[in-house]
Amino acid sequence: MKYYKDFHVEIINNLHNEENKMYSWKVAIRVSRLGLVSGILVGGMAMVQNNGLAKDITLPSPSHSSRISVEAALQQRRSLREYSSVPVTLAELSQLLWAAQGITSRHGYRAAPSAGALFPLEVYLVAGHVIDLPAGVYRYRPHAHTLAPVAKGDLRSKLSSAALGQSSIRDGAAVLVLTAVYERTTAKYGSRGVQYVHMEVGHAAQNVYLQAVSLELGTVFIGAFYDDRVKDLLKLPDSENPLGIMPLGRLNQEQK
């Protein structure tokens, strides 16, 4: 193990078992100036199962510049619920995932601020009409900037049904689902940490909104859904809860 000063080091241990296949455990380690180590298991006993699906998909590297200014993106940001039938690209989704929770520092800090740098959020991609990406559910791995397959098949209609039949989820080329493991934050901040997690999902959602403007895509933040049905569709562990759904699609000509 390497020791560093003044920042969190995240260690991911992959445990292999012939019967249960692969599980991932995350341990957040805080290293003090004196080199003393204290750690907490973030997410409790939560584990993500590979389910024997394909290997992780490496995403295109995100761009760190664009044709539009932050001010212009703020001016143009809107909640858009109607999209064209033109597919989105894997590169565009890579950019949106990076905007939501991508790594922006050698210390592991992310695009969205997080109380105590504890990073309780997870991002799932429900892909339906994406160039060079099979339909299915994927979990975003920020440190590797990859997608881990969770389930096969186009689940947009089922996700729409779980969200009171909202058509934007069914019609979007892809959908981001923002989830949270509250214990990563409440372990340090107690019940106040719940508020911090809710603030954080707002930060991440606004990043997605602004990145969508830069890419000339539309999105909307949806909070009306049946939690248990969304959890089942995404195969979320018990400790993880869905907080928001953001369908994504290319703009119609009149929206540009």
Q: What is the pLDDT of residues 100-153, one digit of tens each?
A: 999 999 999 999 999 999 999 999 999 999 999 999 999 999 999 999 999 999
Note the CATH architecture for domain 54-255: 3-Layer(aba) Sandwich (3.40)
User: What is the per-residue pLDDT for 73?
Assistant: 97
Is residue 179 within 8 Å of 230, Cβ to Cβ? no
HEC string of the chain equals CCCCCCCEEEEEEEEEECCCEEEEEEEEEEECCCCCEEEEECCCCCCCCCCCCCCCEECCCCCCCCCCCHHHHHHHCCCCCCCCCCCEEHHHHHHHHHHHHCECCCCCCECCCCHHHCCCEEEEEEECCEECECCEEEEEECCCCEEEEEEECCCHHHHHHHCCCCHHHHHCCEEEEEEECCHHHHHHHCCHHHHHHHHHHHHHHHHHHHHHHHCCEEECCECCCCHHHHHHHHCCCCCCEEEEEEEEEECCHHHC
**pTM for the whole structure:** 0.80
pLDDT of residue 191: 98
Mean pLDDT of 218-229: 98
What are the tens digits of pLDDT across the range 237-246? 999 999 999 9
Tell me: the pLDDT tens digits for 36-90?
223 333 333 233 344 566 799 999 999 999 999 999 999 999 999 999 999 999 9
- Ranges of each domain in the chain: 54-255
Q: What is the model's pLDDT at position 52?
A: 60
Give me the count of residues in the chain: 256
